[in-house]
Structure 1
């Protein structure tokens, strides 16, 4: 793992599986004047992930990993991360679970955004479950990744009110807007603490 002291721009890799809205949002933030990070690499387990078009558009190195063999896949990812001198990994809708050994290699340097107020509603189908349980609030959480699903230390959270006429789609769209505000803030926070 490269040392982070005295580095002006932190090299970030973003892992995606789908549309990549948090990925494009982080790219836009990386171009801001006072940004302390650069997105150098995008990793995807899905060759058809829509988010990959942003890699092409912004000339960001991309790597597709097929995940047929977990051990080899993670070995390939780690090799790519080393080659690109990556210091922080941001998971943004990455639908694969990283192994304990992989997480150990980047201990305290992998973060994820999750569409609920963790520790509530870990895993998938978050908005449906929140609505089924008649919650008054949901939200989003940026947290460190550890060996347990959506269980790492919380970096930042944003509470979002649930309205009576909310569907999971409406709630999802509203929370996504807050994700786009929260993720860059959380990244900035952890970079400033390095």
Structure 2
């Protein structure tokens, strides 16, 4: 992982596909003095991502590229990241899988937040799986991104109790509130 040098904040891009609640949380975190990151770019694979509104609200550059041809999209993104001097990427509800080549170019400098206690329930529908399997605990994980889906080194995890009344939606809400605490804590751990 990257080490923080002096007081310079690490210029970071956040990749989203949806509402962007983790993005908003990371922006707020980046504004505090002790935060090791500054967010220089918001990227989305969909122009309808609600989280893109934070670009105007917080005056951060945004970029949207369709992944119909992921090779072309990734080339454009890599060029833009270089142009904007981005050194670190946070995936926050980004629903596309980045290629091995892309990940290699950003070796060790991409992290993701996943709504399960990895290695359990990689991929989608994590809350449904946890409830169907009658798990007592769910949670979230911040991990390094590797070419293998949701398989990189675990940086931090947070557990959440599953109650008998929980539905996938209520569990998702509980886990999301913990994600907002976990992501900044994991980023601090990476850079300190």
Question: Which runs of structure 2 are paired with 1:31-180 in the superposition (5 Å)?
Answer: 31-180=31-180
Please say if 1:13 is aligned against 2:2: no
Asked whether the equivalents of residues 10 and 191 of structure 1 are also in contact (C-alpha less than 8 Å), the reply is no
Shift of 1:136: 0.4
Shift of 1:4: 6.1
Shift of 1:3: 9.1
1:67-116: per-residue Cα shift (whole Å, max 9, x none)? 12111100000011001111110000001100000000111100000000
Q: Is there any run of 5+ residues in structure 1 with no aligned partner, and where?
A: none
Q: CA RMSD in A?
A: 1.4
Alignment partners' CA distance in 1, 2:129 and 2:45 = 26
SS of the residue aligned with 2:138? Answer: strand
Q: Is there any run of 5+ residues in structure 2 with no aligned partner, and where?
A: none
Shift of 1:40: 0.3
SS of the residue aligned with 1:150? Answer: coil
Alignment partners' CA distance in 1, 2:76 and 2:4 = 23
Alignment partners' CA distance in 2, 1:30 and 1:183 = 11
TM-score, scaled to structure 1: 0.95
TM-score, scaled to structure 2: 0.96
- Number of equivalenced pairs: 191
Alignment partners' CA distance in 2, 1:88 and 1:173 = 27
Alignment partners' CA distance in 2, 1:68 and 1:106 = 22
Alignment partners' CA distance in 2, 1:17 and 1:7 = 31
